[in-house]
A and B are shown apart, each in its own frame.
Chain A
Amino acid sequence: MEALFTATFLTALLYGVVTAGLPLLLAGLGEQISEKAGVLNIGIEGMMLAGAYAGFSAALATQSLWLGFIAGALAGIGVALLMALFCIRYGMNQIVIGIALTLGVEGLTALLHHFQFARTRPSLGRAPDFSLPWLSDIPVIGPALFTHNPLVYLGLALVPLLAWLFRRSAIGLNLQAAGDKPGALDASGVSVAMTRTGAVLSTGALAGLGGAYMSEVGAGLFVPYMTGGAGFIGIVLAMLARGRPLWVLYGALLFGVSLALTTALQVGGFNIPTDVVQMLPFLMVMLVLVIFARHSVLPPALGLPYVRGER
């Protein structure tokens, strides 16, 4: 029991919170961009998984984490391109296409895993951390919060950047219009399809990056279905954040805590079946939804394809 409150344990727990929370943050921010523009991106789970596979494979082949991250983002964009083609260009049902893409990526990456990695089970070494000067010297908090893969800091920097983009830039305004009243955006001479496509591709890049972080840094290996619903949690985060990136960060940390507790409790020697602890993040979502149900807001044109001249 005392083991729970030592400095090392606390450091490990906080470190785990950030590691578990980052993919959720990236997914949540990505989904937020799509939802703002009126696309409910159910395919985000597939985009993350594609990123996880591509990131791991590329990092394994080139021995470079960064090339892995880039490959992951590109794979996410690849899946997002299909999503944009079917849902925005063809105006197909976003839920069906999202499910189809997720299923397809699940099947494809599991197949590839079977033929490439199942026998040899390769893994990457522990990813090097980057210690922020000064800050990382603080006891407990330093090694826990300020000694991470550089992608973590980039992900955090994205929060104010997106907040600024949403609030103060023309792009943000266009995104908002594409989700709230696509007709108005069209009337002002901006292409709804292009705006939404851009949004979905950005989602793909962020989701793919999140997936790559999970496989390259979080796990060091790739296993089928490894994202395990992280993309779906991202959708919840975006839904509850009501268009505010900072809230996505809070949410991601909250889920990070429950995910990190899963491992921490086991390390701490608590004899609870993993299934009980695995329920925590989802229990948390439902609790949050039940408590804040009234406050979850989605754009009016969410999920609807835009057809010019149609009412």
Chain B
Amino acid sequence: MSPDGSLAAALRVALPILLAFAAGALVLLALGKNPLDYYTFVFRRGLFSWPGLQETITRSAPLLLIAAGLIVAFRAGIWNLGVDGQFLLAAVVCSAVAPWLIGLLPRWLALAASLAVAAGVGASWSLIPALLKARYGVNEIITTLMMSFLGISLANVLIKLVFRDPTTTVPQTPTLPVPYRLPRLFDTTIHFGVVIALVAILLVHFVMTRTAFGLKLRIVGANPRAAVHAGLPMSGLTFATFALSAALIGMGGAVEILGVHGTVRADWNPAYGLLVIPLVFLARFNGLGSILFVLFFAALQIGGESAARRLGVPHYYVLLLVSLVLLFLAIVEYLDHLTARRRTAV
């Protein structure tokens, strides 16, 4: 790509973000808050302080795995919107299994097995949408969303009725003792899950852009009819896509539990799903770009959570900001398209 092209690409990404922050500032003003104070606080807390930066990087672990899962699905033209159910169910089962496995296996083997279990749980929760899509062509947007609502409730049922830790008053799963959790990196609070997540998203990027399997998925996504004519095994690929996507998302739930919380409390639902989807779109399904956006968003989230306590702006504000970024991205893209068309017309 020419330097001119990459500059335009950078602008196309930076502009929507800047515009969204500006529009968001107006909302803050209307609510009687100083936007400059808010933004400075959020970024100082989330990016430019050592503890904040560590939290941001730690937070990006589950987000990166979700992003990896979404990239696989979206590139194959499958709209897996069931992230939250897949994520939570995997987290709950993983947190129930891990303390038990620790007693049977060496630490690293137990952790690896827990991760695998989480991946399996995530994948299994995408089985029905995959089946309906592959067999009857039922729109997966609806089925994955419904399975997501189901999964969130089922996760709570499991915590309260099946995996409940009898020693605590608040319903939660048994706690994985700190020394058995995912190891920390060097002297930081960042856990090994970040490495797993980075490897996963890089691997996904490589597979989707450089391998025959990735090419097949992209053909299915870009033009299903062409894929059928090319003799690709459509239903097999559909199942593979769903399973891979949901397994990665399930692992996202696992690293959050094995690395940070050690347990799942009833009614815990970080609702990362609808938030990571826009990030993946902003990156145009590119794995490398997603890493940047996820880090940026994680910083916003960490800073925003802190700002909720300090400045009295609830963290809902971050939702609004993400939505504005998407809408401005749409506008910028449209204008870009328009000028390109005008240039060719002349």
Partner-B contacts on A (CB < 8 A): 40, 42, 82, 86, 90-92, 95-97, 99-104, 106-108, 110-111, 114-115, 224, 229, 232, 235-236, 239, 273, 275-276, 278-279, 282-283, 285-286, 289-290, 293-294, 296, 298
Contacts and interface: CB of A to CB of B under 8 A. Distances in A.
Task: Please indicate which of the listed interface residues A82, A232, A236, A282 has the most CB atoms of chain B within 10 Å of its own CB.
Answer: A282
B330 A97 contact: yes
B143 A289 contact: yes
A86 B335 CA distance: 12
Given A100-B322, A111-B313, A235-B142, 4 more contacts: A103-B326, A104-B320, A107-B320, A289-B143
A24 to B, nearest CB: 14
Interface stretch (B112-120, B131-139, B203-211): B131-139
Contact of A276 (B135, B157, B281, B317): B157
A111 B316 contact: yes
A310 to B, nearest CB: 12
| Chain B contact patch, size range | 35 or more
Given A95-B79, A275-B156, A282-B146, A107 B330 contact: no
A102 B138 CA distance: 23
A90 B132 contact: no
B150 A90 contact: no
B50 interface: no
B68 interface: no
B175 interface: no
A103 B323 contact: yes
A224 B138 CA distance: 31
B334 A90 contact: yes
Contacts of A273: 156-157, 160-161
Given A104-B323, A111-B320, A235-B142, A293 B135 contact: yes
Nearest to A238: B142
Contacts of B132: 289-290, 293
Contacts of A296: 136, 138-139
Contact of B314 (A110, A278, A283): A110
Nearest to A90: B334
A107 B149 contact: no
A202 B278 CA distance: 27
B304 to A, nearest CB: 11
B153 A279 contact: yes
Nearest to B326: A100
A5 B28 CA distance: 53
Task: Please indicate which of the listed interface residues B27, B149, B160, B317 has the most CB atoms of chain A within 10 Å of its own CB.
Answer: B149
Contact of B281 (A96, A108, A224, A279): A96
A106 B138 CA distance: 28
Contact of A108 (B79, B128, B149, B320): B320
Contacts of A294: 136
B327 A283 contact: no
A42 to B, nearest CB: 7
Nearest to A103: B323
Given A111-B316, A111-B320, A298 B150 contact: no
Contacts of B135: 293
B139 A298 contact: yes
Contact of A103 (B145, B150, B157, B322): B322
Contacts of B123: none
Given A273-B156, A278-B153, A282-B153, A96 B278 contact: yes
A99 B156 contact: no
B331 interface: yes
B139 A239 contact: yes
Task: Please indicate which of the listed interface residues B142, B149, B330, B333 has the most CB atoms of chain A within 10 Å of its own CB.
Answer: B142
Interface in B301-317: 313-314, 316-317
18 contacts: A82-B327, A96-B277, A99-B274, A100-B322, A103-B275, A104-B320, A104-B327, A107-B320, A108-B27, A110-B316, A111-B317, A229-B145, A232-B145, A239-B142, A275-B160, A282-B149, A285-B142, A296-B138
Given A273-B156, A286-B150, A294-B136, A90 B330 contact: yes
Contacts of B275: 103
A110 to B, nearest CB: 4
Given A96-B281, A229-B149, A290-B128, A275 B157 contact: yes
A298 B331 CA distance: 28
Contact of B327 (A86, A110, A114): A86
Contacts of B149: 229, 232, 282
